[in-house]
Amino acid sequence: MSSSAPSSIDMLQRLVAFDTTSRNSNLELIQYIQGYLEDYGVRSTLVPNEDGTKANLYASIGPEAEGGIVLSGHTDVVPVDGQAWVTDPWTLSEKPHGNLYGRGTCDMKGFIATCLSHVPAFQHAKLKVPMHFAFSYDEEIGCLGAHSLAEKLMGNVPRPQAVIVGEPTMMGVVNAQNAGGGHVAIFTGVEAHSSMTHLGVSAIHFAGDFIHWLNELQVELAERKRTDTIPGHTTINIGIVGGGTAGNILARECTLRWGYRTLPGDDAWEVQRRAEKYVAELLLPKMKAKHPDANITLERRSFVPGLKPEENEEAAKLALQWTGGNRTYAVPYGTEAGIFRGHGIPTVICGPGDISQAHQPNEFVARSQMDACDAFIGRMIGWAERQ
């Protein structure tokens, strides 16, 4: 690496200082990255959202040739609200045992920092195939930015050989992930005095029926458990429930934010399809029988496609060379990997940090993990020079 290059830790310190919580704009961070790349003669392209408040970024280093590698990461982080942080989450802090604390250190600015710190090395190397950066917005709230990013990138660069999504895997190579859907269920009732329940419909009561049905479905799905993944079955979660006006009024509205995650290879639409059928054929008629103005609306807000091992063997083989590992893994969480794979490019997940640290107070990435990621990219550069 060039002597003028910032270390991956130096770059991580710069990136953590930007509060890119998903509810905020990520433009300051993206503009910083764009300026940094320009300083090394690397042009980048922004892919903004509809109102221009956020943007993806992609850039390429090396020859315009097929067979390159895409290094992908999301720039947004989850909130720190209500969490018991012992350090400033927006200032990188290192403890004596070598852990680097700050929001996003693990998920996933550590990987982006390592990629950026190697820009001078990419420029200096005699690459036979290009290296592409793909940095997105709003991954944490449904992988919203990655769709347009992947579409633009894949439509404007020669076909890459593999995509590496640098989510925290302790630098293990992950070639399978769950699919996931994010949904909102809106129950509309009819207000009435709580002593006159026959005159109205409580949206909360029927939302409770729906929650109970989801819980029973979860029990059924858990019985299909596999032994090769953890937790090994499709999971359902109701994350937010809101509704009601007062304790003595039948609730006019109740909103549930819920979602599910299905195992690689399973029917990714089963839960949604069965929920729609239950609501249309059983729950809504029961609700309307009490009052014709009652209603239930189901909306899908996001969908993250899964990742199957057999589709990503080429990317896994390369990544294992660069990690020195000898096996691949499956994970229960979702990433942007399935979106890139949907464009026909073998994709794996491999990055520094432990997923158990993601979204936690006092989030950290170990310095040893950053070192391992540095070594990974160094081996990747050597490979790209030999092609």
Q: Which two tokens stand for residue 131?
A: 């290296």
Instruction: Tell me which residue of 11, 225, 202 sits closest to 105, measured CA to CA.
Output: 11
Q: Three-state SS for 183?
A: strand
- What residues are paired with 318 via a beta bridge? none
User: Of 305, 294, 296, which is closest to residue 275 (Cα–Cα)?
Assistant: 296
Q: Helix and strand tally (H, E) in the chain?
A: 11, 15
Cβ atoms 149, 73 nearer than 8 A? no
Global confidence as pTM: 0.88
Domains of the chain, start order:
8-177+306-386 (3.40.630.10), 179-304 (3.30.70.360)
**Surface-to-core class of residue 189, CB atoms within 10 Å of its CB (0-12 exposed, 13-18 middle, 19+ buried):** buried
Handedness of CA 31, 43, 124, 380 (dihedral sign): positive
The closest of 78, 65, 67 to 22, measured between CA atoms, is 78
- CB count within 10 Å of CB 266 equals 18
Distance of CA 149 to the CA centre of its chain: 14
CA distance 36 to 116: 9
pLDDT of residue 224: 86
Sheet holding 364-366, edge to edge: 93-94, 99-101, 364-366
Cα–Cα dist 383/224, whole Å: 42
Q: How high is the pLDDT of residue 227?
A: 63
N-to-C CA span, the chain = 20
Q: What is the pLDDT of residue 302?
A: 87
Phi/psi for 305 (5° steps) reads -65, 155
- Taking the alpha carbons of 332, 351, 385, 318 in that order, is the dihedral positive or negative? negative
Q: What are phi and psi of 199, to 5 degrees?
A: -90, -15
Low-confidence residues in the chain, pLDDT < 70 = 1-4, 227-229
Strand-pair partners of 100: 94, 365
pLDDT score, position 232: 86
Output the pLDDT for position 1. 40
Angle at 74 between CA 379 and CA 123, to 5 degrees: 40
Contact in structure between 300 and 266 (CB atoms under 8 Å): no
How many Cβ atoms sit within 10 Å of the Cβ of residue 230?
Answer: 11
Asked whether 134 and 70 are in contact (CB, 8 A), the reply is yes
Block residue for tokens 């982006």: 112
Q: Could you report the per-residue pLDDT of 325-353, keeping only the tens digit for each?
A: 999 999 888 899 999 999 999 999 999 99
Tell me the one-letter amino acid at 355.
I
Within 8 A by CB and 6+ apart from 227, the residues are none
Q: Please, are residues 263 and 235 in contact by the beta-carbon 8 Å criterion?
A: no
Q: Where are the beta strands (DSSP E) in 139-269?
A: 162-165, 173-177, 179-188, 235-243, 253-262
SS3 content of the chain, % helix, strand, coil (to 5): 35, 25, 40
The one-letter amino acid at 133: F
* Cβ(180)–Cβ(303) below 8 Å: yes
Q: In this structure, are residues 253 and 188 in contact, taking their beta carbons and an 8 Å threshold?
A: yes
Query: Residue 228's pLDDT is what?
Result: 67
